[in-house]
A and B are shown apart, each in its own frame.
Chain A
């Protein structure tokens, strides 16, 4: 009563137009019962054999006659009852047949947008769209949308999240992208050959099963160990090659674009100011070629790779684009822990280092596999100083910096006095660092 104008405004607003997912979606759901049956058969082969022997043609037909329509109906109903709509500030997803579920995702909170296309989806010309928000569920992805629709929706969501007026958000269209880096397949293959994990899993897969055979002479136990080991070996070599094939990093006004994949294509967009941590990793065997791998942390996102392999200079140029105004501190700029830190961590203490610049907190660790983590001051959520009894004896302490992506970057074994000063100074920097940051809506 007090503010009739507001009431009217609320009522007058037209309800957002709701849309449904692509009609092939039910087919995806139809797989579920089949998968359950196969899972049961693999889990208990003897039982399955006995059950199968008992089956007659009639019962089989009867079961099929019940099962297939049931699965189809389930798939159809879940598809029918799933709606989504884009409002001025939210993406709304309404789903559920029996247990209703409504998710409203605030667009200015978007940390990243992923459009993924598994192989079969590519054949069917559809794609999944997922918004990475802190606390978002696996359920909050839109699977499936038509390929073109997914791209248009992504462009619209990003335009709205960026702060374009709602009337124009439709027409803004896809922001133009400029390619920063493309990984040649040869380099990628070579980098995987030069990775210890590839050979480690392969060696385990080749050595463990024969040894087990000699020890037990049991086919089942050998198979049960060999299959997972082979799977791991395949995933860490061929699997990584396939998923990191044609890795492209681009830059657009909407933020960073990461596209990759040979069979399953993934297109990720990270809006400006969403990157919490960047890590430059340098495995031992890559050092001669001067290659590095760059990893990044975005809150709520599962992807952690920015560049699978690239020469150091190229990688640093990419990092400079991802974290504007950040220069990767050279090795000489990093200060090592004091010599007495060797009493706490023999040998490996040399791998640790720290540099604090105007823009980032940079901590290095590792002797063989070097890793340099960069945290922009504005992304620091809290700072901690920890010191164990042995460390206190040698007057050293660790400073840990927690970021919003649930990762902690540690500067280990600093001089105790220096660490105490660092703690105060870092808290101050993380507070003031925020002032220069861009707004959540990056186009306003």
Chain B
């Protein structure tokens, strides 16, 4: 699926076209949160209940509260991530409290990396990471659809080659 040739996304106005992350990423992160904190709450409740008395097992509510908080946090964080491919550079914007917006000109790209762990693969997700000569450039887009990740990788490499510039 080709969403556009370079001319297509040409700077028609300076407003970039933002793309968010797929909802599956949020589902995966929330599931992981629920599984791990649920297990922790269960273990804590059982241990305290058996060893110190039933009243102590109320401490198991702590991880549950954390889970509720994390649920909201993950949602907000997920919603804050977005990226845009412009004619000459890639924009990545993220963060709720600490916001960060990164601009990487295609010509500066040294390496484009697509990674996908076992859990991510199960949810059909892949991350794209761009490396420039500066290690401080932290341009990662987590949890993309694998097809989209590959399309982005190919397009970025292609554009990077066309506009290549070294150090």
Residues of chain A touching chain B, judged by Cβ–Cβ distance below 8 Å, are 109, 111, 134, 274, 276, 299, 378-379, 381-389, 392, 400, 402-408, 423-424, 426-428, 430-431, 434, 437, 440
Contacts and interface: CB of A to CB of B under 8 A. Distances in A.
Given A402-B137, A427-B89, 10 more contacts: A134-B133, A381-B104, A382-B104, A383-B102, A388-B98, A402-B134, A403-B134, A407-B136, A428-B88, A431-B163
Contact of A381 (B88, B98, B134): B134
Nearest to A433: B165
B132 to A, nearest CB: 4
B2 interface: no
A388 B136 CA distance: 18
Interface residues of B, number: 25
A406 B135 contact: yes
14 contacts: A111-B167, A134-B133, A381-B104, A382-B139, A383-B102, A384-B102, A385-B99, A386-B101, A404-B167, A407-B134, A408-B134, A430-B105, A431-B89, A437-B165
Contacts of B97: 388-389
A440 B88 CA distance: 22
Contacts of A392: 99
Contacts of B112: none
Nearest to B86: A427
A352 B103 CA distance: 23
B101 A381 contact: no
Nearest to B105: A431
B107 A434 contact: yes
B166 interface: yes
A404 B167 CA distance: 6
B138 to A, nearest CB: 8
Interface in B116-167: 132-137, 139, 163, 165-167
A305 B81 CA distance: 40
B7 interface: no
B14 interface: yes
A404 B100 CA distance: 20
Interface of B: 14, 88-89, 97-105, 107-108, 132-137, 139, 163, 165-167
Contacts of B163: 431
Contacts of A383: 102-103
A347 to B, nearest CB: 24
A94 B103 CA distance: 41
* Residue of B97, B101, B108, B167 ringed by the most chain A CB atoms within 10 A: B167
Contact of B132 (A382, A431, A434): A382
Contact of B136 (A378, A408, A440): A408
B16 to A, nearest CB: 9
Contacts of B99: 385-387, 392
Nearest to A430: B105
Given A134-B167, A299-B167, A434-B165, A384 B133 contact: no
A381 B103 contact: no
A382 B108 contact: yes
A426 to B, nearest CB: 8
A402 B136 contact: yes
Contacts of B105: 382, 427, 430-431
